Amino acid sequence: MVKREFMVERNGRTFVLYAGLLDEAHRQGLKSITTRLIQVPGPDNGYTAICQAVVETSKGVFSGIGDASPENVPPQMRMHLIRMAETRAKARALRDAVNVGVAALEELADEAEAIEAEAPTRRAGRSATRSLPGEEAMAGGPAATEAQMRAIRAIGRTRHQLSDDQLEGLARERFGKGLAELSRREASALIDDLRSGPTAVAS
């Protein structure tokens, strides 16, 4: 079962985070994830990218199809249609592999906004960490959420085998500040970097 910290509520519905699916797949004996680009986005197909993902675990082989077009991704992701299609395909294959029936948040058209919007719900009933006066402004916006920090560590650990110290170095190389100092926008950018593929880590 996917850890509770990776389950989110949005508009009365429950979703799972891709990082949680990947974490659970590793716990269930993930052997490989392979992807294949089925359709290159272009003017003849409405700029729709289609990818297939195949996940192999100790339980068997599972596949999923993901699509992304300017109509079903947030505006800031329209230059990354292939990446979005790949992520959605992997999320669908991983959901079958670990037997999760709810959709992944990344499958939503407004994924980027949803990830930030769900943070208050996930913190319900918990003590929220408060920023000092002026701290948010110094960070260039609202401070990164606890959910974003968990996602960064989970994706970094499971997809890139990065330690907390290496992630700290990556944040400093990318933004000139540590993880705890990142703004929400910077944390979202770092999550996108970690999802997109191999990541160079500062020594």
Higher pLDDT, 200 or 21: 21
Answer whether 0.75 is exceeded by the pTM: no
Higher pLDDT, 124 or 3: 3
Higher pLDDT, 76 or 132: 76
Predicted local distance difference test score (pLDDT) of residue 183: 85
Predicted local distance difference test score (pLDDT) of residue 132: 39
Predicted local distance difference test score (pLDDT) of residue 130: 39
- Starting at the edge strand that comes first in sequence, how are the strands of the sheet with 49-57 ordered? 32-39, 49-57, 60-68
Q: What is the pLDDT of residues 154-184, one digit of tens each?
A: 887 877 788 888 888 888 888 888 888 888 8
User: How would residue 188 be classed by pLDDT, with cut points 50, 70 and 90?
Assistant: confident
Task: Label residue 186 exposed, middle or buried (CB < 10 Å: 0-12, 13-18, 19+).
Answer: buried
Residue 111 has pLDDT above 60, yes or no: no
Residue 110 has pLDDT above 90, yes or no: no
Q: Which residue shows structure tokens 């395909």? A: 89
Long-range pairs for 164-173: beta carbons < 8 A, 24 or more residues apart: 166/201, 166/202, 169/201, 169/202, 169/203, 170/199, 170/201, 170/202, 172/202, 173/202
Predicted local distance difference test score (pLDDT) of residue 115: 46
Q: Could you give the domains of the chain?
A: 1-128 (3.30.160.20), 129-203 (no CATH)
Give the CA distances from residue 57 to residues 60, 99, 114, 132, in Å, rounded to whole numbers and listed in that order: 5, 12, 29, 46
Higher pLDDT, 123 or 72: 72
